[in-house]
């Protein structure tokens, strides 16, 4: 074609057309990317201004310690949300694993009990995953059902009483209660479960960002049809996401048993709501717009930091709840405003 020169020019002109983001201000781009992190830092600065005890090693340690189980639940849930589904059973999965673990320690010893408890968690995830994919059921419905089923099983197994772990199980209790001394100062110690959390978080960072697992789960959640046509085993990866969610929550359950030397028959629903808050808060971190493991960690940290700070300043529980809710809506709202879609037609 003799018009090849002008065709080439036309080609480049298309390239420009959709890239309207070039024109947006630097400030807007910085806000989108760093906004959430800036808010976290400013909030921390505010609290440390009001309370001298806020910005101390021991308080930081306390915050980390209090967020161990919710953080694990949230990280697991991240996979399912990224895959485009919901897992409402994560909270009770923690309780069930905790109970199974506590029950089996006298029978199988601590290590055997941990392994079986985690297998049970994987089984819960597998059932959720199979029903959502091959069973063609909605993720919300399936996991809502699973939540009630687990609640029933928990009461049935325990008869409504807490299950205590024997005082002699020193090794098992060390997992949740041990401390590693950093310096001679007794205050400078890190809890063993905090270290476990850090290790598991690091593994998830790699799994989510650097391996096929995270990569394909993201692809499936973004456009399952395109993934299907690309020869990706969509069902396989959705099931993997559900298993990862339940397994990570299960690790939280085992740690919970060890931390409190017992398993409670009820509770766990609270983790679920916190986890969703953390995952959606985390989606705004670094301007990704979609949940990611690092964002989820910051999301949980933020919620617990605010809780601790407001506690120190003397706010009542009601105010803390109110504040957490407002923060969540503001963060997600700001993110939506910064990532404005041309037409917004999703209401889930």
Binds other proteins (CB under 8 A): choice among 26, 27, 107, 225: 225
**What does DSSP assign to residue 180?**
E
Shortest separation between residue 337's beta carbon and other proteins, angstroms? 16
CA–CA separation, 76 and 156 (whole Å): 26
Q: Does 244 bind other proteins (CB under 8 A)?
A: no
Binds other proteins (CB under 8 A): choice among 156, 188, 290, 326: 290
Stretch that binds other proteins, among 122-130, 177-185, 204-212, 259-267 (CB under 8 A): 204-212
Shortest separation between residue 134's beta carbon and other proteins, angstroms? 13
Residue 126 token pair: 């597998």
Shortest separation between residue 212's beta carbon and other proteins, angstroms? 6
Residue with tokens 């700070």: 309
Residue 237 token pair: 């990866």
Measure CA 276 to chain center: 8
Q: Does 107 bind other proteins (CB under 8 A)?
A: no
Cα-only R_g, the chain: 23
- Phi, then psi, of 263 in degrees rounded to 5: -120, 135
Q: How many residues bind other proteins (CB under 8 A)?
A: 39
Shortest separation between residue 147's beta carbon and other proteins, angstroms? 29
Shortest separation between residue 229's beta carbon and other proteins, angstroms? 6
Measure CA 305 to chain center: 16
Stretch that binds other proteins, among 122-130, 175-183, 188-196, 218-226 (CB under 8 A): 218-226
Binds other proteins (CB under 8 A): choice among 215, 327, 334, 338: 215
Q: Does 18 bind other proteins (CB under 8 A)?
A: yes
Q: Does 233 bind other proteins (CB under 8 A)?
A: yes
Contact 213, 75 (CB under 8 A): no
> How many beta carbons lie within 10 A of that of residue 109, not counting itself?
13
Q: Does 181 bind other proteins (CB under 8 A)?
A: no
**What does DSSP assign to residue 286?**
G
Contact 86, 143 (CB under 8 A): yes
> How many beta carbons lie within 10 A of that of residue 234, not counting itself?
20
Q: Does 134 bind other proteins (CB under 8 A)?
A: no
Q: Does 218 bind other proteins (CB under 8 A)?
A: yes
Nearer to other proteins, 124 or 220 (CB): 220
Angle between helices 234-260 and 192-210 (to 10 degrees): 170
Stretch that binds other proteins, among 144-152, 207-215, 254-262, 300-308 (CB under 8 A): 207-215
Distance linking the first and last C-alpha atoms of the chain: 50
Binds other proteins (CB under 8 A): choice among 202, 212, 313, 319: 212
Q: Does 343 bind other proteins (CB under 8 A)?
A: yes
Q: What SS3 class is residue 87? A: coil
Residue 61 token pair: 């340690």
Residues in the chain, overall count: 348
Stretch that binds other proteins, among 44-52, 212-220, 255-263, 265-273 (CB under 8 A): 212-220
CA–CA separation, 215 and 217 (whole Å): 6
**What does DSSP assign to residue 265?**
S
Q: Does 24 bind other proteins (CB under 8 A)?
A: no
Residue 302 token pair: 């933020």
Q: Does 22 bind other proteins (CB under 8 A)?
A: no
Q: Does 9 bind other proteins (CB under 8 A)?
A: yes
Q: Does 29 bind other proteins (CB under 8 A)?
A: no
Q: Which spans of this chain sit near other proteins (rule: CB under 8 A)?
A: 1, 3-4, 6-15, 17-19, 21, 206, 210-212, 215, 218-219, 222-223, 225-233, 289-290, 342-343
């Amino acid at each position: 074609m003799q018009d090849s020169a002008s065709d080439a020019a036309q080609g480049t002109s298309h390239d420009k057309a959709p890239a309207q983001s070039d024109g947006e201000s630097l400030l807007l781009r910085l806000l989108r990317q760093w906004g959430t992190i800036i808010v976290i830092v400013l909030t921390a600065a505010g609290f440390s201004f009001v309370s001298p005890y806020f910005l101390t090693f021991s308080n930081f340690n306390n915050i980390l310690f209090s967020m161990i189980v919710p953080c694990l639940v949230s990280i697991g849930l991240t996979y399912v949300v990224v895959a485009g589904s919901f897992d409402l059973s994560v909270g009770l999965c923690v309780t069930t694993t905790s109970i199974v673990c506590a029950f089996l320690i006298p029978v199988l010893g601590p290590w055997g009990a941990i392994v079986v408890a985690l297998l049970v968690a994987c089984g819960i995830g597998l059932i959720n995953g199979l029903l959502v994919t091959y069973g063609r059921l909605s993720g919300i419905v399936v996991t809502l059902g699973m939540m009630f089923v687990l609640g029933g099983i928990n009461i049935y197994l325990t008869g409504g009483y807490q299950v205590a772990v024997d005082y002699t199980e020193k090794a098992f209790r060390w997992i949740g209660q041990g401390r590693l001394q950093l310096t001679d100062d007794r205050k400078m110690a890190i809890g063993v479960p905090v270290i476990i959390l850090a290790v598991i978080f690091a593994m998830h960072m790699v799994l989510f960002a650097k391996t096929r697992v995270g990569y394909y789960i993201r692809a499936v959640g973004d456009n399952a049809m395109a993934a299907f046509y690309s020869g990706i085993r969509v069902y396989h990866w959705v099931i993997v996401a559900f298993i990862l969610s339940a397994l990570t929550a299960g690790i939280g359950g085992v740690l919970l048993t060890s931390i409190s030397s017992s398993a409670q028959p009820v509770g766990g629903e609270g983790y679920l709501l916190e986890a969703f808050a953390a995952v959606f808060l985390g989606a705004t971190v670094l301007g990704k717009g979609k949940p990611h493991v690092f964002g989820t960690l910051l999301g949980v940290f933020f919620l617990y930091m605010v809780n601790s700070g407001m506690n120190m300043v003397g706010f009542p529980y009601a105010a803390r709840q109110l504040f957490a809710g407002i923060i969540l809506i503001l963060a997600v709202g700001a993110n939506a405003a910064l990532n404005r879609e041309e037409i917004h037609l999703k209401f889930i």
